Structure 1
Amino acid sequence: MAQIIEQNTEIHVEKTSALSLSTASGRDVSSPEVSGDSPLPSLAGPDQTLAHLAGLADRARGYVEAASSANTRKAYASDWKHFSAWCRRSGLSPLPPHPHTVGLYITACASGAAERGVKPNSVSTIERRLSSLSWNYAQRGLTLDRKDRHIATVMAGIRNSHARPPVQKEAVMAEDIISMVETLDRGSLRGLRDRAMLLVGFAGGLRRSEIVGLDLKAEQTEDGRGWIEILNKGMLVTLRGKTGWREVEIGRGSSNSTCPIVAVETWIKFAKLAHGPLFRRVTGQGKAVGSERLNGKEVARLVKRTAMAAGVRGDLSEIERAFKFSGHSLRAGLASSADVDERYVQKQLGHASAEMTRRYQRRRDRFRVNLTKASGL
C-alpha cells in the first residue's frame, strides 16, 4: 500500500520537476524567486517539490491506515499472501486479475487443495478471501469482477454444497454477568479493570474493539475509537463506527455492586487515570497501570475465563463451554436480557436493520410464541 503511494508520488514529482525545468527559460531553478509584481513565489525547484510531496505521502499513508482497522489490514495481507503462494505453486500469476484464476483458487480453497495438509475453508472464509482479493487489487489500481461467471457461478455452487448455519456465540444473561463479576478480585487493580470492562461491555452492548478503544475524553489518542462522559444519570459513550459517529447511553444500575458507572469510576480512581485510554494493561505484578491500551483479544479471554469460573452453561462439558463464549457474548446478552421495545435495542447496538437485532435476541424470543398451540394442537 505504501509502495503504491510512493510510486504515484515519484511519478508526480517527475512530471512537476519537468514542468519546472521547461518553464524556467534558462534561469536557475534551484532556488525560488519572488517577483516584484506578485506576492506569490515562482515555481519551486525539484528538491523542494519532492520534500513537499514526501510530507503529503506520509500523511496519505496515515489516512490509508486509518481507513480500516489493524486486524482488517492484517487479514487482507494474509489472504493476499495465501493467494500469491497458491498461484506460485500452480504456475499462475496473481497479476493482473483474471476471473478464471480466481475461480480455480476458490475451488481449491473449498476442496482443501489450496494448501497441503489443511482442511477445506468454510464458505465464510472463502467469501472473506474474495473480499481481500478485491481490496488488494483495488489498491493496485486494478479491478476484480466478482460477477464474472468464473467466480460468481463457482461461488454459488460452493455455497450450495458447503454452506452451514453460522456459529453463534452463547449470550450471557444479566444473572450470568452478575456471577461472572463476582469471580473477580475487587481488591486488585486488574480485578477492578476487568469488572468495569464486563459491566460496560454488557450494558452498552459494545463490541470488544469498542470497549478497548475508549478514551477518557475526546481526541486524546490517535488510535481511540470513542470516549466516555460520566453524567448524573449515567454515562454517554461516543463511538466512531464504519458509517459515522453514534452515541450509546449507559444508565446507572439498580445497585452499586452491578452498576457499570460505579465500576468505571472506581477503576479510574484507583488507577489514577486522567488522560488517554480507559482500559490499559496492569503491570508490576498487578500494582501499576501502564499507558498501553488493551487489545480486543483481552476482552474475549476475559469473558471466556469468567464465564467458565462462574459455571455459566454448566450443563455442557468443559470443551463445549470453551467454544461457547467470546466478546460477542456481551452484545448478544444485552439484546436477549433487555425486555424492552426492539427499536431501543437496535439503537443501542447500532444495527442498521431490525432483522440483525432479532438475530441477537435468539435466547429472549425462543419459544416465546408457540404456533403449535396457537394452531389448536
Structure 2
Amino acid sequence: MAGTNNINKYISAATRENTRRSYQSAIEHFEVTWGGLLPTTANGLADYLAHYAESLSYNTLKQRTVAIGQWHQDQGLPDPSKTPLVKKVLKGIRELHPTQSKQARPLHLEALEQVIAHLESHISADPKDLLRAYRDRALLLIGFWRGFRSDELCRLHFENIETANHGMKLFLPRSKGDRHTLGRYYFTPALQKLCPVNAFEDWRQVSGLSKGPIFVGVTRWGSLKQDALHPNSVIPIIRKAFKDAQLLEPESYSSHSLRRGFASWAASNDWNTKELMEYVGWKDLKSAMRYIESNASSNLFLSAS
C-alpha cells in the first residue's frame, strides 16, 4: 500500500497543477454538462465535438479531446481521441469554424508609469490598502521587467532571491519551458525609475515576510494571508489596478500584458532576437513573435540583421 501511495505521489508531481485542473474541467464538462458516459467510443466523442463545434473554440475542443483521451489511457482503455473519426471531425471543425487567436493588450511603459503612480498614491494615503499597494507594485514591476508568466510570479520564493545594488537574481525551480525541471536563474537590473529591485525590497520590509512565497493574498481588511497567490488571481489583481488607475479598457489586459509589454519595449529599444529570447526564456522564434507588436517586431528583425 505504501508503495502504491508513493507511485501516485510521483505521478501527480509529473503533471502540472494547471494541466490537472484543465483535465478535470474537461471531464466534468463531458459528463455533467453534456451528459456523456465514460468510457466512451469514437462515435460518442465525435457527437460531443459536433454538438459544441459552434459554441466552443477549436482549441478548447482540442484540449478537451486530449483530456478525455488521457482519461482512457489512465484506465488502460482504448483511446477514442486517436481514432480517424475523431481526428477528421476536429479537422472539419477547424476548417468550418476558424478562430482568430486573442492576444492580451501589451502594457506600454507610459501605462505602467500611470499604474505605479496610482499605487504609490495609495501607499501614502490609505493605510488599509497599504500592503496590497506594495504587493501589487512589486508584482507588476517584476512581472514586466522579467517578462514572467503569472504562474512564475506565484512560484517566486524569498529564499530564491538575492538582491544587490546592481540588481536581483531570482531562481525558479521550474517553468513552462523547463521540460526537465532543472530550474533557471534570472537576473533583473536595478533601475532609476520603475525599479523592480526597490519595489521588492519595499514589499519585503513592509510585509515582514522573509521566507515562503513572495506574493501572497491580502484580505479586505488589509492583513496578509499565508498562501501564495493562485495564478488565476493575477489577472483580476492586474485589471483592478489598471481600472483604479483609469487606464482605458482594463478588461483587455491580462497577465500576458506584462510579458507582451516588455517584449515590445525591448524590440523598440534595439534588442536583437537572440538577446530577447535568452532574457525571457523563449526556445523558438515563433513563441517570441506572438508577444511582440507588429511595429516593434519589424525593429527586432532590423536590429538582428
TM-score tier by shorter-chain length is: 0.7 to 0.9
Structure 2 unaligned blocks of 5 or more: 125-129, 301-305
Q: Does 1:355 align with 2:286?
A: yes
2:5: which partner in 1? 58
1:34: which partner in 2? none
1:324: which partner in 2? 252
Deviation at 1:158, TM superposition (A): 0.3
**Following superposition, which runs of at least 4 residues in structure 1 exceed 6 angstroms of deviation?**
none
Q: Which moved more, 1:128-137 or 1:258-267?
A: 128-137
Q: Does 1:341 align with 2:268?
A: no
Q: Could you say if the C-alpha distance between residues 149 and 276 of structure 1 is closer, same or farther in structure 2, counting changes exceeding 3 Å?
A: same
Q: Which of 159, 184, 187 in structure 2 is aligned with 1:246?
A: 184
Deviation at 1:66, TM superposition (A): 2.2
Distance 1:75 1:350 in 2: 24
Question: Which amino acid is 1:267 matched to?
Answer: W
Q: Which of 81, 84, 102 in structure 2 is aligned with 1:167?
A: 102
Q: Secondary structure at the match of 2:225?
A: strand
Distance 2:250 2:96 in 1: 29
Q: Secondary structure at the match of 1:337?
A: helix
Deviation at 1:342, TM superposition (A): 1.7
1:108: which partner in 2? 51
Q: Comparing both chains, which one has the higher relative contact order based on Cα–Cα distances under 8 Å and sequence gaps of 6 or more?
A: 2
1:15: which partner in 2? none
Distance 1:208 1:232 in 2: 26
Larger helix proportion of the pair: 2
Report if the CA contact (8 A) 2:45-2:81 is conserved.
Answer: no
Distance 1:293 1:236 in 2: 20
Distance 2:117 2:294 in 1: 23
Distance 1:355 1:82 in 2: 32
Q: CA RMSD in A?
A: 2.3
Q: Does 1:186 align with 2:123?
A: yes
Distance 1:121 1:296 in 2: 23
Distance 1:127 1:176 in 2: 36
Number of aligned residue pairs: give it. 285
Structure 1 unaligned blocks of 5 or more: 1-53, 112-119, 218-226, 315-320, 370-377
Q: Percent identity?
A: 27
Q: Could you say if the C-alpha distance between residues 77 and 62 of structure 1 is closer, same or farther in structure 2, counting changes exceeding 3 Å?
A: same
Query: Pairwise mapping of residues 10-89 of structure 1 onto structure 2 (< 5 A)?
Result: 54-85=1-32, 88=35
Query: Pairwise mapping of residues 100-139 of structure 1 onto structure 2 (< 5 A)?
Result: 100-111=43-54, 120-139=55-74
CA displacement 1:312-333 (0-9 Å, x = unmatched): 3x3xxxxxx2431111111111
The alignment's TM-score, normalised by the length of structure 1, stands at 0.70
